[in-house]
Amino acid sequence: VQLPQYAPVFADNAISGYEFRALLENGGSMLKQELGIDNRLHRRQLMRAMTMRLYGVGSVPAKPAPPRWLEPREDGGSVAWDSPGSDGAPVHSYRLQRNDGIGAEWLTVYEGPGRTIREAALRTHVTYQYRVQAWSMLGHSEYSDPMTARCRTTGAGAQSLGDVRQADGNADGVLDRSELRELILGELGGHSPEVEAQLRTALRNVDRNVDGLLTADELESYRAQLGTSLSVDEVVDWVEHAVQLPQ
């Protein structure tokens, strides 16, 4: 309803939808007398919203489309999104959330009426995800499907880490685990227990049919999940990010 100052009043009095009918009686007198809402305009806004919810007028906003990642920079970029369909009450605000990888915690980075923000101070070697939720007087939509985003890389960080084709020792068109393992471990600087353990986890995520081989389709599918636009020659750079060992 865009009246956040009254949210504690409703919470403190344990107001649920079952009380809406009583709150609407006698011109909303209980809103003033019992809840202390003196502003007449605010009472009317609350009464209108409660009436629409009580009698099922309209519906919450539709699920938004995924946000878009625009103008990537070395430390961030812009996130934009569209207003979804709304039946009965216009969308008046949005909540944008971000996490720093698949399975990570979602953090709210924006709440308000706008439909674009600029993100800064992001890390280069991280694949971020964004999702958006729309709000109207009747409530909120589902969160959109997530959009993935990465900062633009330049210089050494953007260089390919070797010709993957040369790592295919037996020239059979696929990289088995030992071939890819040796290629990546060589680029990451050795066989430390930490590198070995995290690399095993990353390879299990990629090898969907658990046959011990990594086909081009499996590599491309997992890269698509991460929202990257890497070339074949950058697949090792991608695994470096998946393993989260930028050094």
Question: In the block, which residue shows the tokens 């068109």?
Answer: 173
- Going by pLDDT thresholds of 50, 70 and 90, the confidence category of residue 74 is confident
Rounded to two decimals, what is the model's pTM? 0.55
Identify whether the C-beta of residue 80 lies closer than 8 Å to the C-beta of residue 68: yes
Residue reference for tokens 């878009």: 68
Across the range 220-241, mean pLDDT stands at 51
Band the pLDDT of 150: cuts 50, 70, 90. confident
Q: What is the DSSP track for 169-194?
A: TT-SSSEEHHHHHHHHHHHHTS--HH
If you average pLDDT over each of 7-11, 156-160, 185-189, which comes out highest? 7-11
By the 8 A CB rule, do 207 and 218 touch?
Answer: yes
pLDDT, tens digit, for every residue of 83-106?
998 877 889 999 999 998 766 799
Give the confidence band of 217 by pLDDT, cuts at 50, 70, 90: low
Residue 65 pLDDT > 90:
yes
Q: Which residues contact 48 (CB under 8 A, 6 or more apart)?
A: 137
Closest CA to 48 of 1, 80, 8: 1
Find the DSSP H helices in 189-246: 193-206, 216-225, 235-243
Average the pLDDT over 11-28 and give the result.
Answer: 90
202 backbone dihedrals φ, ψ, rounded to 5°:
-65, -40
* CA 169/CA 166 separation, integer angstroms: 7
